[in-house]
Amino acid sequence: MSEQELMQKAIAMLDRAYIPYSHFPVGAALECEDGYIATGCNIENSSYGLTICAERTAAVKAVSEGHTRFRRIVIAGRSDDYCYPCGACRQVLYEFGPDMEVICLNKKGEAKKMNIKELLPCGFDSSWL
């Protein structure tokens, strides 16, 4: 899939976000190394701590369907600045894509591209166990 198509999928997911509490939508589109695409949005809960981020929604969809090697993810938001993944999502993405690309979008659709290792230096992995 082209990068532009992946971006469009992430942006489209902004409308699926369940955000009655924060009103802060996040959309994600994850491409696996085998070409599988998983999308996600943030899903909030009245018990706030049970909220799941868009990136982890996409990650668990991919892994639970048997796609465990991540190539890249686009993360879309509607804020002025780029929508960066939270710390927990960085670690979850790193587990399945230790060299993956992370493409963060702002509300204009402008992109900032980073490698997961830039976002999560010294990430924890199975080699420590």
In whole angstroms, the minimum distance from the beta carbon of 129 to ligand THU comes to: 26
Q: Annotated active-site positions, please?
A: 55
Give exposure, 90-111, as e/b (b: 16+ Cβ within 10 Å).
bbbbbebbeebbbbbbbeeeeb
Of 45 and 127, CB closest to ligand THU: 45
Burial tier of 89 (Cβ tally within 10 Å: 0-12, 13-18, 19+):
buried
Nearest distance in Å: CB 45, ligand THU: 9
Contact 93, 59 (CB under 8 A): yes
Residues in touch with ligand THU (CB under 6 A): 19, 22, 24, 26, 42, 44, 51, 53-55, 85-86, 89
With respect to ligand THU, which residue has the nearer C-beta, 31 or 55?
A: 55
Q: Which is nearer to ligand THU, 48 or 128 (CB)?
A: 48
